[in-house]
Every structure is written in structure tokens, then in C-alpha cells.
Amino acid sequence: MSYNHQTTDAKWQAAWEKAQIFRAEDDSPKDKYYVLVEFPYPSGAGLHVGHPRSYTALDIVARQQRMLGKNVLFPMGWDAFGLPAENYAIKTGIHPSVVTKTNIDTFRRQLKAIGFSFDWSREINTTDPAFYKWTQWMFIRFFKAGLAYKSTMAINWCPKDKIGLANEEVIGGKCERCGTAVEKRDKEQWMIAITKYADRLIDDLDTVDYLPKIKKQQIDWIGRSEGAEIDFAIDGTDDKLTVFTTRPDTIFGVTYLVIAPEHPLISKLTLPEHRLAVDEYIAQTSKKTDMERGDETKPKTGAFTGSFVTNPANGDQVPVWIADYVLGHYGTGAVMAVPQHDERDLAFAQTFNLPIIDRPLLSFDDALAKTAGKKTIQYKLRDWVFSRQRYWGEPIPLINCAHCGWVPVPDEQLPVLLPDVANYQPTDNGESPLASIDSFVNTKCPTCGGAAKRETDTMPNWAGSSWYFLRYIDPNNDQAFADPEKLKHWMPIDLYNGGMEHTTLHLLYSRFWNKFLFDQGLVPTSEPYARRHSHGLIMADDGTKMSKSVGNVVNPDDIVQEFGADTFRVYQAFMGPFEEPVPWSTNGVIGVRRFLDRVTKLPSMISADESADVTKALHKTIKKVSEDITNFRFNTAVAAMMTFINTVYEQGSITKQSLTTFLALLTPFAPHVGNEVSEALGNTGFVEAGNWPAFDPTLIVDSEVTIAIQVNGKLRSSLTVAPDLDEASLISLATADPNVAKFLTSPIKKTIVVANKIVNFVI
């Protein structure tokens, strides 16, 4: 009979909770190991099968590290501010705070039902005033350091959500939350100067262990370019147009200049007869996002200003065009076009029949010398748009006084509580719903005591997640965001896993935030994460993306209810390479359940003795599983354990000691079954409280190997010999074999030996 998973799951989950065996100890003499998964946004739909892929993998790591003698911190919390809860509240009329609490309760129940070894005593919630008090406190530090400032600028605006978006929140020209096409709109916003940390955000990647694709994505997004600024005189005026180029050596091949539609000199450069076309082109461009404008696959568009400039290197007159592929905030907003050496410039030149000339190249310095240019470095990264004109977020803790300007709320008055209001609808004029609450807005200036008004914008949903990992270290501290000694003990995070989609959002923001706190002397390490990994998506069984609208979403509750928590966990580990997208397979789930059923029957096969094959297979499995967990090859670790069970069934018996050892390997993957079978063997205590097994090197080496003997590549015989038999002896034995000798009818021209596998005589 199959084991009763519902009884088994409930039994061990209750036992773990009662014993509190997964609590991290701040004062433990053991070496620390801080393992972290990105905390979820608690949506109304509950967990989907994609969430637990990451949680299962890191739970396996956390459980193994505890058994290796580490003091493990493996926490969980909720990233609960943001648009989804507010939009749901607007749709249903249920307040975001009520929705959020209900959703968190659902998520917590689901996670506990799967048996994750989180330290629930450190649970956090970004919407808890005890948490966001410190988010506000940190924002004030940014403000006092001059890194938080208010600026009117063209921002990405989502007309559906009625909210400003950071560049990182626009995917393919659309709002990353709702998919609506994003517009450009001038808006006064709070900004945080992440660009001041651009170099460190790139250079410090050399100090951490991140997947290469993660490092590359961050480097490309920051977009550091070393080049030169060169002045081109505008014909007929005393003005000049400054371009930024990474290839000053190509300046002799310039045939036109291109400026961004936002360039400040457009009005001076545009002649009257070209005004209408230029104005129409600028209007069209205003509807595009930076991402769309940078798409090199789309046809090139532009408008001629009618003006010309003089090439300082050779005196050539070249026309000035406007094109949306040049961005006003990158470089100088103007580039020199060299169609002979740049595919983008070539495409533009071909579209508008502009000259393409082949001229000699200069050295970098000789270009600069001939043009009086200067070396400079530019970045694609923009400062972080930090304002949101919505209700469900952390209030920005600043006060605007007519006499004193912007003044931070004093620390002792934090947190600035988010008002509990009935009307949280976004406004058509772009103002936050908080702006209409007089009791919130009207206040006194902390500096002069005069009448003043609070800032009514709220923070983005990325604010709390930019530092939440620090709060896990000391979640109940009401005097500081975390005790300095505890921070010193636990930081940096040893292993952090999350989605690739967060590489240029949360991961970049949180690295920056931590670096700022480090510069302020508030945290002990410049980089928060020593190692960063990522996981692939779980797709529907036909390889398409899971979607509620399509009806192909798999609910973890259903799998746990029907097959058990361990079946769900082991299948998550087994379904494919961790970093790659994989399709869900119900047949795969059934196969894993059969494997676990076989494990539960092993106590009936206990014997005083076992075959050498079982002993050797066990030690090979210890080595394989240990290495695979370290290298995130969870699927091959499960395969190795399945192979071992097959060996035991083939041999018919196993000793209690060997089975107990195997259960130690299995328990991080299937903790309910591991503990249940261990108890059935008469063992006391939790398997997790034991040690991780070590393999015997002498038992993982085969005592004999079979060597194929070939003549001209054709198999003629085989030899069973000791592994790593010296080559001379092996060749001697092979030539003496009668089944081989009869084919050696002519002199041997060459002998090919593949160690422990093949001897091939070429005649």
C-alpha cells in the first residue's frame, strides 16, 4: 500500500513547529549560512507552481547546510505594497489592507503545507508600520545625503494604472504590471541618484559569485561607454553642437549628425521651412518609450532640421537630422553618424539617401588632437524615479514649507502612517489620492513651526524590497532597522536566488541601496549577496506560459492534496535543469510518487547484511547528491537517488545503517517521508538533527572494469581488469587474448588506449 501522505505531512509539520528546529541562532558558535529566496507578492490567486521551484531548491540547500553543521538563517516574508493589491481593491471594493492580510494568510498556509524549513519567527511584511518606519528612515538618509531630489522630467506614464514608472518597469514599451502601452508625460517626481553608483555597480560584480548571464544583464543595463565629446560648429551661428562618440577614430567618415527629439537646440537648429515636419516628428516620438526607440529591428525614422555643422577634423559640412534612436538623456543627446562603420547609421543613411563614404581611421588620441575633443564616460542608466501617485505604498516622509523648503520628518515622528481611507481611487490629474486628505496633507514645519504640507506621493513597490534582507536579521528591533553586531554576524547573504526578470529591477536597486547604507556606516558589507542564482520558469504541459485566462495554471494545493508535499517537492527538483524553463508533467508527478512509495517499503527489506553492490552504490550516491546540491543540479541528484533505490530492490536487502544514511540524503528533498521511514526503523529524533553523510573514497572506485578490445575499430573481445592497470600490461594482455590475436595478421601501426574503456589496435 502507498503511504498516507496527508497523515504523514501533518504529523511532521506539527512536530517541526513544536520543536522550532529551523530557528536561526544569533549567538551560535557554529559558522553562519544565510540563504535567501526573493519574498513573494501575496496575490489573491495564491501560490502557483512557479513560486515553489525556487523555494524548494533553496530549502534543499538550507536543510543540507544545517546537517553540515551550519547555523542557517532561511527566512520568509511578504512584499505586500504595490499596484496589484490596490487594483484588486478598486475592482472589488475591499480595502488593500484587508486584501493583503487575507492573501498573506493563504500564502503562509500553502508554504507550511509544502514543508519548507523557513524560520517563521523572523517573518516580515513591508506594509507593517514597524517595517516601513525604517524604509522611510532610510529615504531620509538619501535625502540628507543629497541623493534624493525632486525634478520635473518626462517620465513613463501608464494611462491605465495612472502612475509614473521607472525605466526598469517598462517592458517592450508596456507597463510591466498591466501590459498597457506607456506614454511620455512631464511630471514632477522624487528621484534617487543611482547613477552616482554606476561604476561601483559594475566594478563590484568582480567581487561576487553571480551567474555570468546575471552579471552581463546588469552591465548592459548600466551601459558604461568610454568615449569622447567633440564640438561641431553650427553653420551661420556662434553656437556649437556637442556630440558623444565611442569611436572618435572614425570622424573623417562622418556624413551627418543626429540629435534627440528632446535636444535643447532643436528650436535654433530647425529652419522655418522644416518646422512643421520636425514638430510632427517630435509629437510622434513622444508616444514611444525609450525601449521602443532603441529597438534596432524597427525601420529608421527621422526629420531634417535644415541646418548644417562643420566637421572639426576636415571642414566638411554635414546635415543635422532628428531621430528617435538618439536619447536625450544619454551622452549629449547628439551623435555623429558614420555609415561606413556603424550598422544603425548605415540603415538610417540608406533610408534617407544620405552619403556613405570610406575614409581612413585615426588613433583615438589623434582624433581628439585634431578636434580638440575630450575623453569622457557616459551611461545608459538613469536616476531612479521614486515617486508613485498611488495610495498603497509607503508615504514619502518629507514636508514642504514655504519658508524652509523640503524638510524631512524628524526621526522620532516616524513612521508617517498611511491613512486608513475609504477612497483610494487614482486621480485623472496625476495626483496621489492622499492629496485630497486635508488631515494628512496639512501639518507644521518641523524646522520653523509654520504651516506646511506633507508630500502626498508614495514610494514604489521596490522600496521595501531594496533592504528587506537586513530586517530578517533583527525583525523585532524598534530602536534600529537591525543591530550592528547582528548585521556583522549574518552579512553578506551566502546564497540568494530569484528570477532573471528582477535582474535590472530588484537586484540592481537592492545592491545600490545596500552600497549607500555601507557608505553611511550602517551595514558591514558593500555587496549584500555573495552568490546569486536564478531559476527557469515552469511552463504548461504544452510548453506555453501558464495563464489564468487560458486555464492552464497548476495549483500547488491540488498536487499536495492528491500526491503529498514530498511528491510535489521532489518533482519540482527533478523536473529539469534548475536554470532552464521546463514544462509541467502530471505523468512526472506520478512517477515521483511511485519512487517515494518504494522508499517507504524499504524497512521491510532490512537485513543484517547487504551486497557490496548496495554499499558501493550508496557511497557513490552520497558523493553525487552532495556535489549536485552544491552545483544546483537537483534533477540529477534525484535521479541518483532513484538509481540507488533500484539497486537495493535488485539486490533484495539493505542494512539499517545504510538505509539511515540514505534517508539523510533524501530528507532535504522529501523531509516528511525521510523522517517517517527513519522513525519506522526505530531511530529517534529528527533526521535534520543528524549529520550530512560522508562517502568513503575507496568505495566509489570500481574494483574491476571491463575493457573493450578492438582491431581497426571493430570489437573482437573484452577484458575484465583492475581499474587503472598500467598501459603496457593492458596491451600485453590484449594481444595475448586468442580472440584478438587471430585478427592481428599484419604489423600493428598504432595502438589507441582510452583509460578504463577501450584498446584499439590499428593494423
- pLDDT tens-digit readout, 592-608: 999 999 999 999 999 99
How far apart are the two ends of the chain, measured CA to CA in Å? 61
pLDDT value of position 177: 73
The architecture that CATH gives domain 705-762 is Roll (3.10)
Say which CATH class 556-699 falls into: mainly alpha
Residue 291 has pLDDT above 80, yes or no: no
Q: Quote helix, strand, coil % in the chain, to nearest 5.
A: 40, 20, 40
Cβ pair 544, 552 in contact under 8 A:
yes
Query: Residue 651: pLDDT above 70?
Result: yes
Instruction: Kindly report which listed range (241-255, 283-297, 428-442, 749-763) carries the lowest average pLDDT score.
Output: 283-297
C-alpha cell at 122: 523572523
Ranges for all domains in the chain classified under CATH 3.10.20.590? 705-762
Taking a C-beta distance cutoff of 8 angstroms, is the pair 137, 148 a contact? Answer: no
More confident residue, 90 or 67: 67
Give the CA distances from residue 430 to residues 148, 188, 332, 425, in Å, rounded to whole numbers and listed in that order: 21, 10, 30, 11
Confidence of residue 725 (pLDDT cuts 50, 70, 90): confident
Quote the CA–CA distance of 100 and 98 in Å, as a whole number: 5
What architecture does CATH give domain 225-378? Alpha-Beta Complex (3.90)
HEC per residue, 593-643: HHHHHHHHCHHHHECCCCCHHHHHHHHHHHHHHHHHHHCCCHHHHHHHHHH
Give the Cβ contact number of residue 350 at 10 Å: 12
Q: Alpha-carbon distance 543 to 660, whole Å?
A: 39
Give the pLDDT score at 209.
Answer: 97
Confidence (pLDDT) at 168: 66
Instruction: Check if the beta carbon of residue 117 is closer than 8 Å to that of residue 22.
Output: yes
Whether residue 622 has pLDDT greater than 80: yes
pLDDT band at 37 (very low <50, low <70, confident <90, very high): very high
Which residue in 458, 379, 107, 56 sits closest to 221, CA to CA?
A: 379
pLDDT of res. 548: 67
Question: How far apart, in whole angstroms, are the C-alpha atoms of residue 112 and residue 94?
Answer: 26
Residue predicted with more confidence, 364 or 502: 502
User: 104-160 pLDDT, tens per residue?
Assistant: 999 999 999 999 999 999 999 999 999 999 999 999 999 999 999 999 877 788 888
User: CATH 3.90.740.10 residue ranges in the chain?
Assistant: 225-378
Check whether 67 has a pLDDT greater than 90: yes
Question: Which pLDDT score is estimated for 305?
Answer: 97
What is the enclosing helix (H) or strand (E) of 506? helix 506-519
Q: Which three cell numbers stand for residue 353?
A: 539617401
For residue 492, whether the previous peptide bond is cis, meaning omega lies within 30 degrees of 0, is yes
| pLDDT at residue number 316 | 93
In sequence order, what are the residues at sequence separation of 6 or more whose Cβ sits closer than 8 angstroms to the Cβ of residue 395?
A: 136, 416, 417, 418, 434, 454, 455, 456, 458, 459
Domain with CATH 3.40.50.620 in the chain: 5-135+462-539
- Residue 289 in this model has a pLDDT that exceeds 80: no
φ/ψ (deg, to 5) at 381: -60, 135
Residue pLDDT, tens place only, 538-586 = 998 888 888 766 778 889 999 999 999 999 999 999 999 999 999 999 8
Alpha-helix runs per DSSP H in 96-211: 96-114, 129-144, 198-203
Query: Quick one: residue 315, left, alpha or beta (phi over 0 = left, psi -120 to 50 = alpha)?
Result: left
Backbone angles phi, psi at 219, to 5 degrees: -60, -45
Q: Kindly give, in sequence order, each residue whose CB lies less than 8 Å from that of residue 745, ignoring residues fewer than 6 positions away.
A: 763
CATH code given to domain 5-135+462-539: 3.40.50.620
Query: Taking Cα atoms as reference points, which of 502, 548, 541, 569 lies closest to residue 44?
Result: 548
CATH 1.10.730.10 domain range(s) in the chain? 556-699
Backbone angles phi, psi at 453, to 5 degrees: -130, 140
State the chain's mean pLDDT as an integer.
92
Residues 513, 507: Cα–Cα separation, whole Å? 10
702 versus 499: the higher-pLDDT residue is 499
Give DSSP secondary structure letters for 434-503. Answer: GGG-HHHHEEE-TTT--EEEE---B--THHHHTTHHHHTTSTT-SSSSS-HHHHHHHPSBSEEEEEGGGT
Q: Within 10 Å of residue 531's Cβ, how many Cβ atoms? A: 15
Q: What is the 3-state secondary structure (H, E, C) of 252-301?
A: HHCCEEEECCCCCCHHHHCCHHHHHHHHHHHHHHCCCCHHHHCCCCCCCC
CB 68 within 8 A of CB 60: no
Cβ atoms of 256 and 319 within 8 Å: the answer is yes
Contact 532, 214 (CB under 8 A): yes
Say yes or no to pLDDT of 391 above 80: yes
The angle formed by the CA atoms of residues 649, 652 and 653, to the nearest 5 degrees, is: 110
Q: Report d(CA 155, CA 13) in Å as an integer.
A: 49
Instruction: Convert 635-652 to b/e letters by CB count within 10 Å (16 or more is b).
Output: bbbbebbbebbebbeebe
The pLDDT value given to residue 549: 67
- Give CA separation, 168 vs 297, 383, 483, in Å: 21, 11, 32
What's the whole-model pTM score? 0.85
Contact 305, 278 (CB under 8 A): yes
In angstroms, the CA 674 to CA 687 distance is 7
pLDDT digits (tens, 9 = 90+) for 225-267: 999 999 999 999 999 999 999 999 999 999 999 999 999 999 9
Laid out side by side, the sheet with 531-535 consists of: 71-73, 32-37, 495-499, 531-535, 209-210
Strands (DSSP E) found in 166-272: 170-171, 174-175, 183-192, 209-210, 225-234, 240-245, 256-259
Between 337 and 49, residue with greater pLDDT: 337
Compute CA 339 distance to the chain's CA centroid, rounded to the nearest angstrom. Answer: 37
